[in-house]
Structure 1
Amino acid sequence: MPRVKRTLVLTVLIACSCAVLLLQLRFLRRHVHKPHILNPAGQLTTGHGQWQTLKKFLELAQRHRMPLFLADVATLSHLTQDALQQHQGPPPPHQGPPPPHQGPLCSFLCSGRPVAAFALQASRWKYDAGFLLAAEQRGFELMEFRGEDPRLASFDSLSGEEIPLHFLFRLHGFVIQVVFLYERSGNYLWHGALRLKAGADRSFAPFTLLDYGRHAGAYDRPELVLTVLDGLDVRVPRNVSHFLAQQRHAHFLECRYREARGFLQLYPDDASPPALEFRRKAKALLHLAARALARIHVPFWISSGTCLGEPPPSPCRHPMTPDP
């Protein structure tokens, strides 16, 4: 009799173990090894991991009042004026089933590339180490790039001060680049080049795929609009085509201040009234030509003459665009 009871108990335990194992396998099949994620419309969603990373990053930036705007070339290239839906405040809650034409969850921001780019006008955000700490606490890895402030290069006593140029945030193999745009005296925005220092981790990001950093760049100050892309609030340039056209040609050449000072020491500036009047007329003519060509969207370069042969003591910009 005791042997029968032991056999019965053993049989019950084996049956319970098999039942638990079957339930675990069913759970894994449904939730863990699920190959795709469906959006509310029942359509397959692509880039869900990238979307989650972008959502986490944008929420963090908004919490720290970081006024980012989308500068990713691949994403902006897919945008048209019809796709931009400017709105004030958060979008209203959706009621009822989604329309049948609703696309995938991440059809714009998830371009399939392992990188995305945002830009930040540095004058609108005070450097906050708490933001970087919060990003690390949320799982992001950070690589920060700094460089000398070119706005102080013409002053020997102030040169050498470093400013942040680029942030790279990495999470689950996806890299988000933040480009700092600084206001320059010519009424334009400037960003510096991204240069890896000795000993830097060259495997941190696919640097050849980054949209910004191969060289310094200069841009007109873009007018931004707030829109909704893939369910996320994102600022984008109002004139996307103009911004992308500038990005393709925004190769900035910094003035050689040391050579300019040496030249002026050998050949002092002519401060006579005729010379001052000549320079005034020359600048007025250049600005007039630049404004006229800008109206018909023709880039304007200084291709020859003493403007190139004699580096001026103020920042240079190529191509030249008019002051507003």
Structure 2
Amino acid sequence: MKKKSAVHLCLVGGLILLTAQLSLLVLLLYPYNQYHIHFLKDVGAFVNISSKLHMSVFVVDSETLQHFINQKNEHKTQCVLCEARHPATFVTLFRGFKQSVEFMSVLQEAGFHVVVLQNTNPPEVPSGISINVPICYLLKRNIVIHLVLFHEREGNYWWHGNLLSDPRAISELSSFGLSLHSAQMMKTEGAFDKFETELVHMDHIPVLIPKDISRFLRDTRSSRYIECNHILADLFYRSHGKDTTHEALRFVHRAWKLLSKAKTLLDKLGVRFWLSSGTCLGYFRQCDIIPYSKDVDIGIFITDYSEKILPEFLDHGFTLKHWFGRVNDSLELSLSSGELKLDIFFFYEDGQFLWNGGTQAKSGRKFKYVFPRFTLCWTEFLELKVRVPCETQAYIEANYGSDWFTPVTRWDWKSSPSNVRENGEWPAEDWAEVMRVYN
């Protein structure tokens, strides 16, 4: 009898424990499920309103897109949109002020609290983008949605603004329970090549996503954008005048065509490059090509070197003028297209610094040009979407010193740069390999 009572006691105790565990589980899961329900209802309503106004809305939330790839590969059917970060991030294309006003009105009628942030005080005035143009929406009914506005730029790419370009941004984000750190996009200005999208159903909601998700996520990590300083350029031309002679205008036009062609070929190969040396100085100082520079200069990290670079240029009408150095030391290529020269400098790491090499062909002397470490940003240069060092002024001052604003028409590449250093000599027996000069 005692044994039977003990069994009953164990069963009752086990049942009580199981009930407590199930109750705890329900308590833990119930708010989570409720959040998902509210989330999907709000996203569905937001997408439906956008569709009725003929606005194409893209899902760009990194967690959602990655989860979508995983679900697709594993053939699972769990809630995909529920993986979105807080706030959930979407993108649409800006189609004018009239559509923006109508969009706000319809969202408010559907119970959304809506705030529009504007490009009120940008670091530099964007070329072709109006001051006070909308740059994003913050929406909330039950959950927060961050809708980023892509603007089409003259260089045929999409640009988005920086949240901090609106002085109200911090306080408005705070009113939504957010901080600048919460935002996935718009901590800085950004630029994207136009990408294809495809219509998919996420949790029974029809949404657009980038067709190549992996590339989009990769591009997002390197999308930071800076604007050319047109105020500085105006000051430069007021101080030093502008060469508008036929020869100067002809050179600038031909140099632009050379840079555009180089961009096309390197973009095709997936090789990152940036404006360097005199071309970068012209961009930073006067938002233009320096007419007396006589060549175009670009930089490439040696880690991005590809054996396909030279054949690609030669196959498209370029001629090799010289090959200096080796891939692992001081590589520099000079190519010509007609009468113009394209210099490609390869950059190497050395502790806290980066450097590119130089070689004097008649003596075998080696030089290095030392720069503080820098990162790369997109910019628009004469309607071309190209990269420049984000820390542009430090890069320029390393090369040209503190007096970079003053034009210098006489320049000795071995002694004039502020950052040039002697770097030994190439052994005579290596000259045939490391100093190849062509007519």
TM-score by length of 1: 0.69
* Alpha-carbon spacing, 1:318–1:214, altered in 2? closer, same or farther (3 Å): farther
- Counterpart contact for 2:380–2:386, Cα < 8 Å: no
- Counterpart contact for 1:148–1:160, Cα < 8 Å: no
- 1:49 corresponds, among 22, 38, 53, to 38
What are the residue-to-residue correspondences of 1:218-297 with 2, within 5 Å? Answer: 218-297=191-270
Stretches of structure 2 that go unaligned for 5 or more consecutive residues are 1-22, 289-378, 389-439
* Alpha-carbon spacing, 1:78–1:297, altered in 2? closer, same or farther (3 Å): farther
- Counterpart contact for 2:126–2:227, Cα < 8 Å: no
- 1:143 corresponds, among 115, 128, 141, to 115
- 2:48 corresponds, among 34, 52, 59, to 59
Alpha-carbon distance between aligned partners in 1 of 2:245 and 2:70, rounded to the nearest angstrom: 53
Alpha-carbon distance between aligned partners in 2 of 1:263 and 1:112, rounded to the nearest angstrom: 47
AA paired with 1:142?
V
Which secondary structure state, in structure 2, belongs to the residue aligned with residue 162 of structure 1? Answer: coil
* Alpha-carbon spacing, 1:82–1:35, altered in 2? closer, same or farther (3 Å): closer
How many residue pairs align between the two structures? 262
1:304 aligns with 2:277: yes
* Alpha-carbon spacing, 1:177–1:159, altered in 2? closer, same or farther (3 Å): closer
Look up the match of 2:359. none
Look up the match of 2:147. 178
What are the residue-to-residue correspondences of 1:23-172 with 2, within 5 Å? Answer: 35=29, 47-80=36-69, 83=72, 103-104=77-78, 106=79, 108-111=80-83, 113-123=85-95, 126-148=98-120, 153=125, 161-172=131-142
Look up the match of 1:23. none
Alpha-carbon distance between aligned partners in 2 of 1:61 and 1:146, rounded to the nearest angstrom: 20
* Alpha-carbon spacing, 1:49–1:309, altered in 2? closer, same or farther (3 Å): closer
Report the alpha carbon displacement of residue 216 of structure 1 after superposing the two structures with TM.
0.7
**Relative to total residues, which structure has the larger strand share, 1 or 2?**
2
Report the alpha carbon displacement of residue 161 of structure 1 after superposing the two structures with TM.
4.0
CA deviation profile, 1:195-245 (whole Å, cap 9, x unmatched): 253583424142312111211111111112212222111111212222222
Alpha-carbon distance between aligned partners in 1 of 2:210 and 2:59, rounded to the nearest angstrom: 8
The range that moved more, 269-278 or 59-68, is 269-278
- Counterpart contact for 1:189–1:221, Cα < 8 Å: yes
Alpha-carbon distance between aligned partners in 2 of 1:139 and 1:154, rounded to the nearest angstrom: 34
CA deviation profile, 1:57-80 (whole Å, cap 9, x unmatched): 111211222211112122223344
Alpha-carbon distance between aligned partners in 1 of 2:86 and 2:275, rounded to the nearest angstrom: 38
TM-score by length of 2: 0.52
CA deviation profile, 1:235-291 (whole Å, cap 9, x unmatched): 112122222222111111112111111111222222223322322332222222211
Instruction: Could you list the structure 1 runs, at least 4 aligned residues long, displaced by more than 6 angstroms after superposition.
Output: none
Alpha-carbon distance between aligned partners in 2 of 1:188 and 1:280, rounded to the nearest angstrom: 22
- Counterpart contact for 2:125–2:131, Cα < 8 Å: no
* Alpha-carbon spacing, 1:218–1:148, altered in 2? closer, same or farther (3 Å): same
* Alpha-carbon spacing, 1:197–1:125, altered in 2? closer, same or farther (3 Å): closer
Percent of aligned pairs sharing the same letter: 26
Alpha-carbon distance between aligned partners in 2 of 1:192 and 1:143, rounded to the nearest angstrom: 16
Alpha-carbon distance between aligned partners in 2 of 1:63 and 1:45, rounded to the nearest angstrom: 27
Look up the match of 2:424. none
